[in-house]
Amino acid sequence: MVSVVIPTYNERENLQTLLPQLLYRFAASQTRAEVIVVDDTSPDGTAEVVQYYRRRFPHRLRLLSQPGKMGLGNAYRAGMKNALEHGADYVVQMDADGSHDHKDLARLLSPLAKQQADLVIGSRYVSGGDVQNWSLRRRLMSRSGAAYARTILQSRIHDITSGFRAWDRELLGKTLFTTTRSDGYAFQIEMARRAELAGGRIVELPITFTERRDGVSKLSREIVREAVVTPWKI
């Protein structure tokens, strides 16, 4: 069973595109897969979109509603825990805004199914990886942030801030429930490093990251501050 965990806050328009792409693809291929949307009580009607598709795919879609705006790390912890409790063999992290191509899912899952990896990261910063529709400033911020965290942590992961990942349940359980503390976007950095320290076999595969189609980016000064501080705490 594959569980795709998607955190959301005000992603109504993007989910109207992404959910049918995933759900109809899973149904057509008869893949044992589901989508878990973890919503931070979005005021834009995100939950209503999920419920609409849940009526059509009751066995392939779940909605977890957070009590408030709890942050990315909290959303992922809730969704991943739910996935493991429902018997997921592999758990995928994926953004709701269309920046990750759903067609790359099979490629990320393949090394797990072949038992060649415990964690597969969709990487912008290995050979063949790319970013589209970002300004030069945004590119420099992202690359320097990843390089900063990698240097502080002495990590071998090139794209340690990537949000497109596929986990084997054993490594995920070992990493998720015993060590993580970050509530925001630095959760990505912490999880990747904890996976390294746990001895997980980590593979990076090139992806093309495309800037969101609709809605507003969640990047803020607080997110940047957290990303600067977190590597020193791991």
**pLDDT tens per residue across span 6-17:** 999 999 999 999
Per-residue pLDDT at 212 exceeds 80: no
Q: 51 pLDDT band (50/70/90 cuts)?
A: very high
Segment 70-78 shows an average pLDDT of: 94
What is the model's pLDDT at position 76? 96
**Residue 179 CB neighbours (<10 A):** 15
What is the model's pLDDT at position 69? 92
What is the model's pLDDT at position 209? 94
pTM (two decimals): 0.89
Per-residue pLDDT at 61 exceeds 70: yes
Give the three-class secondary structure for 80: helix
CA gap 197, 46 in Å, rounded: 36
Choose between 104 and 234: higher pLDDT: 104
What is the model's pLDDT at position 183? 78
**pLDDT tens per residue across span 156-205:** 999 999 999 999 999 999 988 766 677 778 899 999 999 999 999 999 99
- % of the chain exceeding 70 in pLDDT: 89
Strands 208-210 vs 130-132: parallel, antiparallel or unpaired? parallel
Which residue stretches of 37-168 are H helix?
46-56, 72-85, 105-113, 136-153
Domains and CATH numbers, the chain: 2-233 (3.90.550.10)
Per-residue pLDDT at 143 exceeds 70: yes
- % of the chain exceeding 90 in pLDDT: 73
User: Closest by alpha carbon to 190, among 220, 161, 151?
Assistant: 161
What is the model's pLDDT at position 182? 77
Segment 138-156 shows an average pLDDT of: 83
Distances from the Cα of 143 to the Cαs of 108, 138, 162, 179, 229, in angstroms? 22, 9, 11, 26, 17
